[in-house]
Amino acid sequence: MHERVERKRSLSLDVVILTKNEERHIGRCIESVAHLANRIYVVDSGSTDRTREVARQAGATVLDHPWTNYATQFNWSLDQLPQDTEWVLRLDADEIVTDGLAREVMDGLPRLGPEVAGVYISRRMTFLGRPIRWGGVFPIRILRLFRRGRGRCENRWMDEHIRVDGRTAEFAGEIIDDNTNSLTWWTEKHNNYASREVVDLLNLEYGFMPHETVADLREWQQAGVKRWLKENIYARLPRGSRAVLYFFYRYILRLGFLDGQEGTAFHVLQGFWYRFLVDAKLQEVKSYMRRNDVDVVKAMRDVLGIDVQAVSVCPA
């Protein structure tokens, strides 16, 4: 135990978790990093359940800040961290750091040279209690560990990633996304996600706000390659048909059907229904623009309820 405490102290690692009504998950999330982090910050955006109370009881510092989108909220959180913070770990409330990743962080992080600004790790997920192993979507390699002051969140409304200034390293360990909410909750959340993704797709076409992206084929990182394919190939395919093609790729070509009944629900809902919903909302906004002779910003405000001019997203 003494050795674990000493290694923890040498890490100078703070964890940031964004929450709203995460009473169900937040205690489990904090417990998975309590032995690893110097400090744990839960940044809440108006929870009406016991999220704040559970987080404080588990040893976290709770901050409150109104929600705009994930990028803005997370970057605000970074600006609240103490100056002596060296490393930051970004977690979602429904995620768990595995023991293997925790050991790798404790052993490997202090050995990284100053030229390393961030660390890629793997993320897996369960859906309706079943681990998703097929479909070519997991594990996802994501940059979740980075040096304070050398990483910020992309200027995006959806599917945001951390961008770092400097070299990156690779850890083999994993975090697990294990959300235990109902399917009704999941579909409502993804309905909101679809509206936010439409904002980013329209911005690619109309350029109404600064565009930041991790898309990069030179370093051949998974997140960058996927983003490049999404922005340069997927976004140019005919709307509607691209949802069908993507589902066929995941469920048939990448053997998503092997994930069982729960996996079928996941691949149909996340691989087809969600992608089709994004396209339908995109068409809805464009049709509104034509019918009412308004610009894209007003159309998004009227149709999606998103006002991109009301906030400064992801400040530098």
Q: Are residues 26 and 147 in the same domain?
A: yes
Taking residues 13-26, report their average pLDDT. 98
Q: Are residues 143 and 207 in the same domain?
A: no
Count of domains for the chain: 2
What is the pLDDT of the chain when averaged over all its residues? 90
Can you give the pLDDT at residue 235?
74
Q: Would 315 be classed as within a structural domain? A: no
Q: Would 310 be classed as within a structural domain? A: no
- For the cut 80, the answer to whether the pLDDT of residue 234 exceeds it is no
Domain final position from 130, 150, 177: 177
Q: Are residues 115 and 12 in the same domain?
A: yes
CA distance readout (Å), 222 to 93, 123, 231, 283: 23, 12, 14, 29
Q: What is the C-alpha to C-alpha distance for residues 265 and 257, in angstroms, rounded to an integer?
A: 10
* Identity of residue 43: V
147 token code pair: 């040096």
Q: Are residues 104 and 150 in the same domain?
A: yes
Cis, bond preceding 66 (omega within 30 deg of 0): no
- Report DSSP letters for 239-261, one per residue: TTHHHHHHHHIIIIIT-GGGGHH
Can you give the pLDDT at residue 10?
63
Domain final position from 150, 177, 204: 177
Q: Are residues 129 and 193 in the same domain?
A: no
Task: Read off the pLDDT of residues 72-105 as tens digits, 9 standing for 90 and up.
Answer: 999 999 999 999 999 999 999 999 999 999 999 9
Task: Read off the pLDDT of residues 279-311 as tens digits, 9 standing for 90 and up.
Answer: 999 999 999 999 999 999 999 999 999 998 875
Q: Are residues 16 and 71 in the same domain?
A: yes
CA neighbor of 251 nearest in space, from 135, 131, 136: 135
- For the cut 80, the answer to whether the pLDDT of residue 220 exceeds it is no
- For the cut 90, the answer to whether the pLDDT of residue 2 exceeds it is no
Q: Are residues 135 and 277 in the same domain?
A: no
Q: Are residues 145 and 200 in the same domain?
A: no
Q: Would 314 be classed as within a structural domain? A: no
88 token code pair: 């930051």
Assess contact for 91 and 33: CB atoms under 8 A: yes
What is the percent of the chain with per-residue pLDDT over 90, rounded to a whole number? 79
Taking residues 44-53, report their average pLDDT. 98
Domain final position from 144, 159, 177: 177
Q: Are residues 109 and 124 in the same domain?
A: yes
Of 14 and 230, the structure prediction assigns the larger pLDDT to 14
Assess contact for 115 and 150: CB atoms under 8 A: no
Q: Would 145 be classed as within a structural domain? A: yes
Q: Measure the N-to-C terminal CA separation of the chain; round to a whole number of Å.
A: 40
Task: Read off the pLDDT of residues 235-282 as tens digits, 9 standing for 90 and up.
Answer: 777 887 899 999 999 999 999 999 999 999 999 999 999 999 999 999
> What phi-psi label fits residue 23: left (phi over 0), alpha (psi between -120 and 50 degrees) or beta?
alpha
Task: Read off the pLDDT of residues 127-150 as tens digits, 9 standing for 90 and up.
Answer: 999 999 999 999 999 999 999 999
Q: What is the C-alpha to C-alpha distance for residues 223 and 121, in angstroms, rounded to an integer?
A: 11
Q: What is the C-alpha to C-alpha distance for residues 110 and 204, in angstroms, rounded to an integer?
A: 40
Q: Are residues 139 and 214 in the same domain?
A: no
- The residue segments making up the domain with residue 156 are 2-177
Q: Are residues 165 and 97 in the same domain?
A: yes
Where do we find the tokens 């690779």?
Answer: 170
Q: Would 9 be classed as within a structural domain? A: yes
Q: Are residues 13 and 99 in the same domain?
A: yes
| Cβ neighbour number for residue 219 with a 10 Å cutoff | 11
Q: Would 311 be classed as within a structural domain? A: no
CATH number at residue 51: 3.90.550.10
Backbone φ and ψ for 4, nearest 5 degrees, come out as -65, -40
Of 130 and 5, the structure prediction assigns the larger pLDDT to 130
Sign (positive/negative) of CA torsion 207, 152, 90, 124? positive
Where do we find the tokens 């390293």?
Answer: 169
